[in-house]
Structures are given as C-alpha cells and as structure tokens.
Structure 1
Amino acid sequence: MSDAFSPPPSPGGEVSADQRQMALFSHLSSLSGLIIPLGNILGPLILWLVKKDTMPFVEDQAKEALNFNITLGIIGIVLTIITVVTFGIGAVLTVPLGILLGIAWLVLTIMAGLKANEGQYYRYPFALRLIK
C-alpha cells in the first residue's frame, strides 16, 4: 500500500524523450498563469486531455500539475475570503501567506519540470488528488 506522495510504479521501460519533454511542458505550462488568467490550470489541463491516451508518463505528470494548481487556487480563494470576511484585518496573515505560497508555487513548479525532464515521476508535497 503506497501513500499519496509516492510515485506510481513505472509502466515499464525507459521514458521516451518525447514523453519527458511533454511532461516538462505540462509542469511549466502552469507558469502561463502569470500572464493569462487561469493559465496555471488551463495549461496542464490541455496537455493532460491531449496526451492522456497516448503518453502515460505525460498523463501522470500533467494530472499532478493540474491537481497542484487547483489546490493552490483553492487555498488562494480561502485566503481571499478570510481577508474579506475580516474587513482586511486578516491581510496581516493572508498577504504573507500568499507571498510564501507564490514562491513555493514557482519553486515547486520548476523542480517538478526538471524532474519530469529527467524521466522521474514527481509528486508535489501538498496537492489534493482531485483528478484521478
């Protein structure tokens, strides 16, 4: 029995260069959220939908990126609600948390992309597994 953070067993054999590159793109496509609203979710979602039937490694990594970005979106919404409900007083807590969350998102996304490019399954440390 494996926990939620352990990578799935390798489907057998070496991961092809094409799959490694597409898996890298699936993680780094979430950086489009810096430019395009919801790009951090749309990028991995599109790659997952396009490649899920033909590239198992890409399917796994795109799902992982998608789940991570959805999780961060939920956390961002909760922080915003806390700020609004407390009439801005909660911003003393939520703004620093939001900044830390943004830094963690950037660092973890880059780390995930690098691991995927090496052909390694990557699991984000705090992601709800909403898309199975």
Structure 2
Amino acid sequence: MYNKTYDTDKRKLLSGLSHGSIFFSLLGISVGIPIAILLVSDDPVVKDNAKEALNFHLNVWLYGIIFGILTWVLIGFLLLGILQIVNLVMPVIAILHCLSNTEQPYRYPFIFRLL
C-alpha cells in the first residue's frame, strides 16, 4: 500500500507519540500532539496513526461527556471507570502495534472515525 521508503525509527517514534499523547490529556495539550504530527509529517503511516489518535481523543471526550451525564443516574460511575480503563489500555496496545508493525497504521476498535 505504501511503496516509498521511510525511516522506520522516525515512524515508530511519531506514531507512538501520536497514540501516547492521550496520557497527557489532563494537561490539555494532548490533542495538539497528533495534530502537529499530522501537519508536519509526510509519512502516510504516521499521518494515518495521527488521524486515528485524534479520532480516539474525540471518542474519549464524547464518551466522557455522555458518561458524566449518566453519573446523575448512578450508572455513570461504572461507565466512567470502564472508560478510564479503556483510556489506559487501548493506547498501550496501539503503541505496541506501532513499534512492532511499522508498515500498517493501528485502528482502534469500536470508535467513530470523524477524520
């Protein structure tokens, strides 16, 4: 699919950084990291990983709002707990995929892809 040769170490670093940016979400700069990588990089795999990371950010925020509203109904606490686990586990899986398979972007399961 991607014929041009790119630096695999740079690809691993930028793809991993895109997916790992979710861990900086409390700082408010987490979404800026994949946006910057998307704008700066010319590697199609890195761009696809940055788009997927942005989609994951948007989904986490959307589900956080929905589950936060549901907290008023008392079921939201369980859903917020599950969301936090997903928020920690899925980026780790994505980073490991980016480090082991540099030729294919990672796709998060069960998310809406807006980008």
Fold shared by both chains (TM-score > 0.5): yes
CA distance, structure 2, for counterparts of residue 111 and residue 48 of structure 1: 20
TM-score by length of 2: 0.85
Within the alignment, does 1:104 sit opposite 2:96 as a pair?
no
TM normalised by structure 1 equals 0.75
On the 8 A contact 2:38/2:51 being kept in 1, the answer is: yes
Identity %: 31
**Structure with max Cα Rg:** 1
Larger helix percent:
2
Listed as ranges, the gaps of 5+ residues in structure 1 are 1-9
**By how many angstroms is 1:95 displaced?**
1.0
* Residue 105 of structure 1, CA deviation: 1.5
Partner of residue 36 from structure 2, selected from 40, 46, 49 = 46
> Do the aligned partners of 1:30 and 1:44 also contact (CA within 8 Å) in 2?
no
- Note closer, same or farther for the CA distance 1:40–1:126 as it changes in structure 2 (3 Å cut): farther
Match of 2:62 among 33, 51, 74: 74
Q: Is 1:125 matched up with 2:113?
A: no
2:2 aligned residue (7, 11, 21): 11
Question: Post-superposition, which runs of at least 4 consecutive aligned residues in structure 1 deviate over 4 A?
Answer: none
